[in-house]
Structure formats: structure tokens, C-alpha cells
């Protein structure tokens, strides 16, 4: 445990000072700030940020994460040659990567709200969900980047995998679901689609956010089923748990690979 | 000095085997490093030198065989690495940390702050390199940091992989003197290098690996005697030829 914290301390120093994390923070800050300046009210800004959070945050997390783990490879070997256990070193590396990215997201999106937003009743729920979804997606996709970078020794394969996973979750998955729905339109598909939605972290984030805005009504009959399931506090808890599982499973797998790996 | 029992060899490999897919990196390696001596590890590219070093460091898990450090088997734990100092071949340190922070990190991780050997650290820090981010340092200066880390915790066993690579002649001389001094103080050194002159200058023993097998292990002079050659390079070439015939 102490080893993890010691590794974490210096990893934090290193990642926080990296230019990419700084650019990421500034970009999110400027974007949110501009949305406010163009006359947006708090809740509308949250809605405008929805797609940024759902697409951009996973992309940055998985690509930056994978690149970072590869660039730290030689130093990781040096650390492994020290009297430290692999498990605690791995935990330190993951937290040292995920926490700065989570912090960058919180600061970049949160600060403009602190500066501009008028406190109103309809703001806290959506904003809270936006931040929660962004944080969970950061943890899910950095965990995936750790898995890719420990699984493949070849940097090109790891990066390719990272981009493929992002493309799959962000774009291809929804297309496949649509295809499925058209192909089997004669059958009741609500339950299968519900289950499929639970498997994709980006979809889960979207559901979580859209239900904050009562826009689910626009999604027709399926939307109603969604509303019925996800709109309850139990459904919302299910989504959060599913996201937590999606962050934990790749991380545990990566930890297993890391522990047995030949460097 | 992290002392090792004087009777047992500093490190011992017994029937060590390691396979990477179809490639046999180590094919039954039986050797030992004598305490208080400098042992050269040589062999053609892909002979298994790196794999052997990495096995000892716990970076690679051997398929078969055992390793002993100071007579005690290396298990699955990591405590034994307290007695080892490692200088990797091409080090990369976290880009945005300064040398001082990298050193502080390793001190924290080792938790052995008390009796460190700061001689090489001062050498590294001479031109103000300690407080600059590692990414702006030249290759040679980075190599000095690499050396400073390896010697810092007064290890009983030093594993040096191409230690003078990238160093200018003066710096390389300083490092070689340091290696001799810690040897004289009782440390064991395993030295991998492609510079035969350097090995002839420093090493007393030699391990010659070819395709994962030990072709020669013993005193450096013995190899020259056996082949009738005077230079180390020629002696090794002769041994390779003989083995191939």
C-alpha cells in the first residue's frame, strides 16, 4: 500500500506536468467557457457538453493512457528491478495516470460552471450526472489503456487497439444496434437492446445524461421502456454499477497480465 | 554494504531455462558469480544475455531452474532485490521529473535512506543537472543518472548493462574507477558490454553465452589460454568457430 502511494506521488508529479494533460484541461475549460458566453444557461450548457463528454473524454483517456504506459515502459522496468511488488507498482501506475486525467476533466468542465452558472434548481442534477459520467468514463478508458499496453508489447498494436475500442464504443456499436433493430423489427427488442446498452460504457453515459433532461420521450416506444427502467433510482444505480464494473474488469485483467508478464 | 555470506557464490543459476514462443532464450544455464569479483557477460546478439540478467532481476520468469542469491533461493518475493543495483542499457526516466525527483522517488521506494553512496550522485549533479527535467538532459548525462541510481544504495551485487555507453572517455574512466572501488570493497559485479577492451580492463571472470548455452565460464585468462589467442575478441571468435565445426 505504501509502495503504491509512493509510486503514485511521483507519477502524479510527472503526468500533471505533461503538456497533453494541460492542453486537455485548457481545451475543456475554453469550450465550456465559450458555451456560457454565447448566452447559454447552466442546464443548456450541460446538454451541449453531453457529446463532448461522451466522445472526447473516452478518446483522450484511452489514447493518452496507452501512449503514456508505452513511454513509461523502460522506467517501469527499472522500478520493477527495485525491491517492490508488482501489484503495488501496477496500482500506483494506474492511479498516477487516471487521477490526473480525472482532475483535468473536473477542473476543465467544472471551473466555468463555478464562474458563470447561476445557482438554480434545474442545474445540480444534470451537472452532477455530467461530472459523474465523465469521471467514470475516464476510469473505464484508462483501465482499458492499461490493459492494451500491458497485453501488447508492440506499440503500434496497442495504439491501434485503443483507437479501435474507441471507434467501436463511440460509433460502430450504435450502428450495430440499429442494424439489429431493423433486422428483427418484428420481434419485441426492448429487453435485448437494454442489455446491449448496458455493455457499452459510452451508451451508458448517454442514457444517464439524457434521462436528466426528459428527452427520452423523443426516443419513442424504446425510449419509454428505457425511461421505465433507467429512470428509476434502481435503474440509475444499475447504470452506475455497470460503469464501475466496466472500469474494474479491464483493470483486474491488466493487473493479472502485468503480474505474470516477462519484461 | 549489504553483505552476502562469504562462503556461497554471490549469485548462482541452476539449470535455468526460458522459452519465448519457439525461441529458446536460455537452454539450461548453470553458472555462478564469485563474490567480490567482476564477471563479464558476453555473447553474440540474441545469445540470452539480457534474458539472463532479467531473470535475476525478476523481470522475466524462468520456465525451469533455480536462482540463488548469497546461497538462498530466490522465491517469488521481491525482498531479495534490496541487495541488487541495476543499470539498464537504455534508460528512460519520466520526462517531466527532475533528476532530484527521480532519485527521491527511488529513495522513497527503497526506504533505505540512511547509508547511501552519493559519490556518483554528486558527479551527476555537478553541472546543475539535478534540477533540470530529465527530458532536456543529454544521453551521457542521463547515463550518469542511471549509474548514480545503481550505486546509490550500496548493493552487494551490481548488474551493469553497457554501463559506459554514451559516456565520454573522461566520464567512462570515472565510472570504471568506481566499479573497481566497489569491487575492492567486496561487491560483486556482473558486467555486460560489447567493448572487449573495457571487459579486459575490468573483468576477472567471464561468461560466454551462445544461443542460450554457456560456451565458457571461468577466469578471463583461462579463455585466452584455451584458445591460444592473446586478445579477448579473437579468443571468443576462435571459440565460436570451434563450436560451429
Cα separation, A180 vs A249, in Å, equals 27
Using the Cβ of A81 and the Cβ atoms of chain B, whether some distance falls under 8 Å is answered with yes
Q: In this predicted complex, what is the ipTM?
A: 0.88
Cα separation, B66 vs B72, in Å, equals 10
- pLDDT, one tens digit per residue, over A125-166 is 888 989 999 999 999 999 999 999 999 999 999 999 999 999
> Would you say residue B195 lies in a domain?
yes
Q: Residue B85: helix, strand or coil by DSSP?
A: strand
Number of domains in chain A: 1
Domain of residue A155, residue span: 2-260
pLDDT for residue A195: 86
Cα separation, A111 vs A114, in Å, equals 5
> Would you say residue B2 lies in a domain?
no
Residue of B nearest to A89 (CA): B109
Rounded to an integer, what is the distance from CA A50 to the centroid of its chain?
13
Inter-chain touch B97–A10, beta carbons under 8 Å: yes
Inter-chain touch A3–B20, beta carbons under 8 Å: no
Handedness of CA A169, A174, A175, A179 (dihedral sign): positive
Number of domains in chain B: 1
Using the Cβ of A78 and the Cβ atoms of chain B, whether some distance falls under 8 Å is answered with yes
pTM comes to 0.88
Q: Are A124 and A227 in contact (CB under 8 A)?
A: no
Query: String of b and e for B207-231 (b: at least 16 CB within 10 Å)?
Result: bbbbbbbbbbbeebeebbeebebee
Alpha helices in chain B (DSSP H): 49-57, 99-110, 119-125, 139-152, 169-184, 196-202, 220-227, 232-244
> Would you say residue B119 lies in a domain?
yes
Alpha helices in chain A (DSSP H): 2-16, 19-37, 42-51, 57-71, 73-80, 86-116, 121-151, 155-167, 173-183, 190-199, 201-210, 220-230, 233-260
Question: Is A11 exposed, middle or buried, given 0-12, 13-18 or 19+ CB atoms closer than 10 A?
Answer: buried
Using the Cβ of A6 and the Cβ atoms of chain B, whether some distance falls under 8 Å is answered with yes
Contacts of B97 in chain A (CB under 8 A): 10, 13-14
pLDDT for residue B234: 85
pLDDT for residue A175: 87
Q: Residue A7: helix, strand or coil by DSSP?
A: helix
Contacts of A71 in chain B (CB under 8 A): 92, 95
Nearest CB among A74, A82, A85 relative to B91 is that of A74
> What's the whole-number mean pLDDT along residues B188-204?
90
- Whether the pLDDT of residue A248 is over 80: the answer is yes
Residue of B nearest to A20 (CA): B96
Query: String of b and e for B32-43 (b: at least 16 CB within 10 Å)?
Result: bbebbbbbbbbb
> Would you say residue B179 lies in a domain?
yes
**Mean pLDDT taken over chain A:** 89
CATH code at position B87: 3.40.50.300
Amino acid at each position: 500500500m505504501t509502495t503504491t502511494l509512493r509510486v503514485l506521488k511521483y507519477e502524479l508529479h510527472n503526468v500533471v506536468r505533461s503538456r497533453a494533460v494541460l492542453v486537455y484541461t485548457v481545451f475543456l475549460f475554453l469550450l465550456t467557457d465559450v458555451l456560457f458566453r454565447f448566452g447559454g444557461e447552466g442546464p443548456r450548457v450541460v446538454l451541449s457538453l453531453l457529446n463532448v463528454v461522451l466522445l472526447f473524454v473516452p478518446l483522450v483517456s484511452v489514447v493518452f493512457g496507452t501512449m503514456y504506459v508505452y513511454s513509461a515502459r523502460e522506467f517501469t522496468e527499472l522500478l520493477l528491478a527495485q525491491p517492490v511488488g508488482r501489484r503495488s507498482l501496477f496500482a500506483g501506475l494506474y492511479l498516477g495516470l487516471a487521477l490526473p486525467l480525472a482532475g483535468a476533466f473536473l477542473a476543465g468542465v467544472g471551473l466555468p460552471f463555478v464562474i458563470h452558472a447561476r445557482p438554480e434548481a434545474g442545474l445540480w442534477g444534470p451537472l452532477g450526472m455530467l461530472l459523474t459520467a465523465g469521471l467514470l468514463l475516464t476510469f473505464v478508458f484508462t483501465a482499458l489503456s492499461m490493459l492494451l499496453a500491458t497485453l501488447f508489447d508492440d506499440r503500434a498494436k496497442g495504439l491501434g487497439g485503443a483507437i479501435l475500442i474507441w471507434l467501436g464504443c463511440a460509433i460502430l456499436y450504435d450502428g450495430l444496434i440499429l442494424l439489429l433493430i431493423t433486422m428483427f423489427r418484428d420481434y419485441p427488442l426492448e429487453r435485448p437492446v437494454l442489455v446491449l446498452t448496458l455493455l457499452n460504457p459510452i451508451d451508458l453515459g448517454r442514457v444517464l445524461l439524457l434521462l436528466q433532461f426528459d428527452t427520452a420521450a423523443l426516443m419513442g416506444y424504446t425510449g419509454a421502456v428505457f425511461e421505465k427502467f433507467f429512470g428509476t433510482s434502481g435503474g440509475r444505480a444499475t447504470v452506475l454499477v455497470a460503469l464501475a464494473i466496466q472500469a474494474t474488469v479491464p483493470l483486474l485483467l491488466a493487473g493479472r497480465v502485468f503480474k505474470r508478464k516477462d519484461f | 554494504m549489504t553483505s552476502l555470506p562469504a562462503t556461497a557464490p554471490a549469485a548462482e543459476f541452476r539449470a535455468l531455462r526460458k522459452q519465448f514462443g519457439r525461441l529458446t532464450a536460455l537452454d539450461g544455464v548453470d553458472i555462478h558469480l564469485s563474490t567480490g569479483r567482476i564477471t563479464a557477460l558476453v555473447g553474440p546478439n540474441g545469445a540470452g544475455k539480457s534474458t539472463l540478467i532479467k531473470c535475476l532481476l525478476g523481470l522475466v520468469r524462468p520456465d525451469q531452474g533455480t536462482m540463488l542469491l548469497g546461497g538462498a533461493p530466490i522465491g517469488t518475493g521481491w525482498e531479495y532485490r534490496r541487495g541488487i543495483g541495476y543499470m539498464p542499457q537504455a534508460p528512460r526516466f519520466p520526462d517531466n521529473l527532475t533528476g532530484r525527483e527521480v532519485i527521491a522517488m527511488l529513495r522513497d521506494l527503497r526506504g533505505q535512506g540512511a547509508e547511501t553512496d552519493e559519490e556518483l550522485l554528486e558527479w551527476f549533479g555537478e553541472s546543475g543537472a539535478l534540477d533540470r527535467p530529465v527530458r532536456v538532459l543529454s544521453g551521457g548525462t542521463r547515463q550518469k543518472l542511471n549509474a548514480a541510481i545503481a550505486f546509490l544504495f550500496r548493493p552487494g551485487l551490481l548488474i551493469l548493462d553497457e554501463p559506459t555507453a554514451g559516456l565520454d572517455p573522461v566520464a567512462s574512466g570515472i565510472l570504471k574507477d568506481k566499479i573497481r572501488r566497489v569491487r575492492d570493497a567486496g561487491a560483486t559485479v556482473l558486467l555486460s558490454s560489447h567493448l572487449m577492451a573495457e571487459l579486459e580492463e575490468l573483468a576477472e571472470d567471464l561468461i560466454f553465452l551462445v544461443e542460450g548455452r554457456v560456451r565458457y565460464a571461468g577466469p578471463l585468462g583461462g579463455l585466452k589460454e584455451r584458445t591460444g589467442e592473446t586478445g579477448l575478441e579473437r579468443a571468443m571468435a576462435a571459440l565460436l568457430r570451434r563450436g560451429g565445426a
